Amino acid sequence: MSRLIAVRLFFGALTLWAVSLVVFAATQALPGDAALQILGRDATPERVEALRQQLSLNEPVAVQYLQWLQGVVQGDLGTSFSNRQPVAEFLAEPVMNSLTLMGWAALVATPIALFVGAFSALRRDRSFDHTASMGTLVIASIPEFVVGILLILLLGPGGLDLFPSVYAREGGIDQWILPVLTLSLAVAPPIVRMMRATMIEVLESEYVQQARLKGMGERTVLWRHAAPNAIGPVAQVVALQLAWLAGGVVAIEFLFNFPGVGKVLMDAIENRDVPLIQASVLLIAGVYIVVNLIADVIGLAANPKVRVANR
């Protein structure tokens, strides 16, 4: 078990490294001279050359990569081109904002989704189940930014005018509602469906039937026999959805003008701010990989059968 986890961790680290390579290579391929970009129309040959030195742009690419990687490992993500601030420092707040946003979305979505899923399973093929199944199917279909816009059209200033549609620094707590709602709606459907499917699978399993045949009460059947077997797969899906959030948050932050990593990434792309692009992509991919890894480990830990079946 612990060996298996170690193997996963190793592969996770390997993947992260591969991602770092891809990100670096990709940003190297960006057209234009970084120094020229930073200086923009203020560029004079002397200033450009000085900056090139400063950014070690004259070094071979491999050296640049190693320097960059070394920095990344030590938490030094370089200096932003556009604001000449250390990237790590600059990213701290957006990262916290994004994590808070994701955290709220997870906190709102998960319990409701678990409840709806479990209740659907218990009410299988009844009207609640049908409604929930159709509802999740429909919501899951729509791209999340479309969900966001629909919410804005409906609840935002143009519609019922209940909540603000853009984030502003001095805005109140109500400006969190639409982004959190959008992300929650994006995250919840797969959890609902997985919860329902797993609960049904477990409730239909022979061991639950056997528990019933032993004369166990419904409550015991549900909590002692069914629930522990449903936790594993559901926890995995929850973790996978959280991982998805890492990437999915970009469009939502862009839509709501929310000052998180996704917004930083979009701005950085707009400004061709290479260190910032590198750092935010690496960060998002990193969160994605790590949470996926956690999902993996949960899957391993929760299910003794998986433990045996996985080589």
Question: By CB under 8 A, what part of segment 66-125 binds other proteins?
Answer: 80, 82-85, 90
**What are the backbone dihedrals phi and psi of residue 253, each rounded to the nearest 5 degrees, phi first?**
-65, -40
Cα-to-chain-centroid distance, residue 175: 21
What is the number of residues in the chain? 311
Give the helix/strand (H/E) hosting 233.
Answer: helix 227-256
Residue 146 binds to other proteins (criterion: CB under 8 A): yes
Write down the least CB distance from residue 258 to other proteins, Å.
10
Q: Dihedral, CA atoms, 279, 280, 285, 287, nearest 10 degrees?
A: 100
> What residues contact 219, with CB distance under 8 A and at least 6 apart?
none
Single residue of 1, 18, 66, 107 touching other proteins by CB under 8 A:
18
Write down the least CB distance from residue 256 to other proteins, Å.
9
The mark string for 290-309 relative to other proteins (x by CB under 8 A, - otherwise) is --x----------xxx--x-
Single residue of 192, 199, 225, 241 touching other proteins by CB under 8 A:
225
User: What's the token pair of residue 253?
Assistant: 């932050």
Residue 33 binds to other proteins (criterion: CB under 8 A): yes
> What residues contact 31, with CB distance under 8 A and at least 6 apart?
none
Segment 245-264, which members bind other proteins (CB under 8 A)? 246-248, 250-251, 254-255, 257
Written as one letter, the residue type at 219 is R
Of 54-62, 65-73, 177-185, 212-220: span binding other proteins (CB under 8 A) = 212-220
Segment 150-189, which members bind other proteins (CB under 8 A)? 150, 152-153, 156-158, 164-171
Residue 15 binds to other proteins (criterion: CB under 8 A): yes
By the 8 A CB rule, do 151 and 159 touch? no
